[in-house]
């Protein structure tokens, strides 16, 4: 670096380029609930066959037009499910979205419907990225979670194919009691395969996930501190684990006061995971700063029937794309406006000094208490008096 060059400052928490009160950062559309897997955590409680009330191809194009109307760069638009490959118009929708300047991404299930030929076709039509789920380091752990044998091996093959084609691949992992002790082995696996991004999902008790045993609030602190360490090598993000932003800020401050290797007081789970991780030397990548978005605040979920919700894990509809303007619902509905107002938060979330950047999981608060503004029960942090 030249002597007079200014080093690039990496923010500990990133903020969307545009005002999240005006436009979302990411929009996820559940294109169908049809899926040939029976995943134990499934939010949608997926079924084998498509629902006739799903958005039609013309309605989907109209939705894409609305998303493009937010301006450039467009919100990231993720086609999810169920399994989006169950729709025979997926290629047409990817092509249409690309023609409108929309950043298109896909979250398929690892079934025989996903082939090299179909992925290559979608990439050629403009698909930029896709996500795959790995919920354990072995077939036994992962396939038990997914409900069928052979899914683990198929996922690894699809990951390799997607990378060869040129797609950016995000790996998703859901944390529950059944696999939390395996997270270090998953991290090592992802490092050996040069994962572009690891998205760790903290369970929300909805759909089939309501019968799974979650980890405790203290254990979630340990997992997030472990993920902070992993982030020196693998880019990490969390889903419905918004207090990871607090962890990042706290660890950054601790590093400045004590030193880069300092860790906070942590529970036994953190120490077990960290020991299992073994030698973990920082790589050439910069740490990925978490993005400051939350349900209704930079984030929108569209159901298979067109319902406009703050999150797929918060089934509270503020309108329907068949009858309502997505822009108007996002900008003006009481639900979306309220979720962007930290003064509405209750309990520890309402008193927390990190409320404006974290805000807790509104989805989990709603699932557990029925109140989207209640405190996040998976956060162990006690706000300063």
Q: How far apart are CA 200 and CA 236, in angstroms?
A: 8
Rama region for 214: left / alpha / beta (φ>0; ψ in -120 to 50; rest): beta
**What pTM was computed for the model?**
0.92
Pick from 50-59, 185-194, 256-265: least confident:
256-265
Q: What is the pLDDT of residues 224-235, one digit of tens each?
A: 999 999 999 999
Averaged pLDDT for residues 9-14: 75
Please report, rounded to a whole number, the percentage of residues in the chain having pLDDT higher than 90. Answer: 77
Averaged pLDDT for residues 198-211: 78
Beta bridge partners of 189: none
Q: How far apart are CA 274 and CA 378, in angstroms?
A: 21
The residue among 11, 48, 68, 37 whose CA lies nearest residue 326 is: 68
**Sole residue written with tokens 């894990």:** 313
For 87-128, give the DSSP string. STTHHHHHHHHHHTT-EEEE---SSTT--HHHHHHHHHTT--
**Measured in Å, how far apart are the chain's first and last C-alpha atoms?**
45
Contact 269, 225 (CB under 8 A): no
The pair of structure tokens assigned to 373 is: 């503004």
Contact 148, 111 (CB under 8 A): no
The pair of structure tokens assigned to 341 is: 């107002």
**Sole residue written with tokens 């405190």:** 375
Peptide linkage before 73 cis (omega within 30 of 0): yes
pLDDT at 260: 74
pLDDT at 2: 38
Show the DSSP H helices in the chain as ranges: 57-68, 90-99, 116-124, 139-146, 151-165, 183-192, 217-230, 244-257, 268-277, 326-332, 334-339, 347-351, 362-369
Contact 146, 37 (CB under 8 A): yes
- Residue 48: pLDDT over 90: no
Give the number of C-alpha atoms closer than 13 A to the C-alpha of residue 152, restricted to the C-beta side.
15
Give the pLDDT band of residue 49 (cuts 50, 70, 90). Answer: confident
Q: Kindly report the CATH class assigned to 26-295.
A: alpha beta
Give the pLDDT band of residue 6 (cuts 50, 70, 90). Answer: very low
Averaged pLDDT for residues 108-117: 93
Rama region for 246: left / alpha / beta (φ>0; ψ in -120 to 50; rest): alpha
């Amino acid at each position: 670096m030249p002597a007079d060059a200014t080093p690039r400052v990496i923010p500990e928490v990133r903020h969307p380029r545009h005002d999240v009160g005006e436009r979302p950062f990411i929009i996820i559309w559940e294109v169908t609930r049809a899926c040939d897997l029976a995943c134990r955590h499934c939010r949608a409680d997926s079924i084998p066959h498509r629902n006739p009330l799903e958005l039609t191809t013309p309605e989907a194009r109209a939705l894409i037009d609305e998303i493009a109307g937010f301006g450039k760069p467009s919100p990231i638009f993720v086609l999810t499910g169920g399994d989006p490959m169950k729709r025979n118009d997926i290629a047409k929708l990817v092509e249409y979205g690309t023609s409108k300047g929309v950043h298109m991404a896909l979250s398929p299930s690892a079934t025989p419907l996903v082939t090299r030929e179909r992925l290559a076709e979608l990439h050629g039509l403009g698909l930029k990225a896709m996500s795959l789920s790995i919920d354990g380091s072995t077939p036994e752990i992962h396939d038990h979670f997914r409900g069928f044998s052979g899914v683990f091996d198929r996922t690894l093959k699809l990951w390799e194919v997607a990378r060869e084609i040129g797609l950016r691949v995000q790996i998703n992992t859901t944390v529950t009691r059944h696999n939390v002790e395996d997270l270090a082995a998953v991290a090592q696996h992802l490092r050996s395969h040069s994962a572009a991004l690891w998205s760790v999902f903290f369970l929300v008790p909805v759909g089939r996930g309501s019968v799974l045993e979650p980890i405790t609030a203290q254990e979630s602190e340990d997992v997030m501190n472990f993920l902070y360490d992993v982030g020196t090598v693998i880019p990490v993000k969390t889903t419905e684990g918004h207090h990871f932003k607090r962890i990042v800020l706290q660890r950054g401050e601790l590093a400045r006061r004590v030193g880069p290797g300092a860790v906070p007081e942590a529970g036994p789970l953190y120490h077990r995971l960290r020991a299992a991780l073994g030698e973990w030397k920082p790589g050439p990548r910069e740490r990925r700063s978490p993005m400051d978005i939350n349900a209704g605040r930079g984030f929108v979920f569209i159901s298979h029937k067109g319902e406009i919700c703050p999150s797929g894990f918060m089934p509270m509809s503020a309108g329907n794309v068949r009858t309502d303007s997505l822009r108007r619902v996002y900008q003006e509905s009481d639900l979306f406006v309220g979720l962007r107002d930290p003064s509405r938060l209750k309990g520890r979330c309402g008193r927390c000094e990190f409320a404006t950047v974290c805000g807790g999981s509104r989805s989990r608060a709603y699932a557990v208490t029925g109140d989207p503004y209640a405190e996040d029960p998976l956060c162990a942090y006690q706000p300063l008096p």
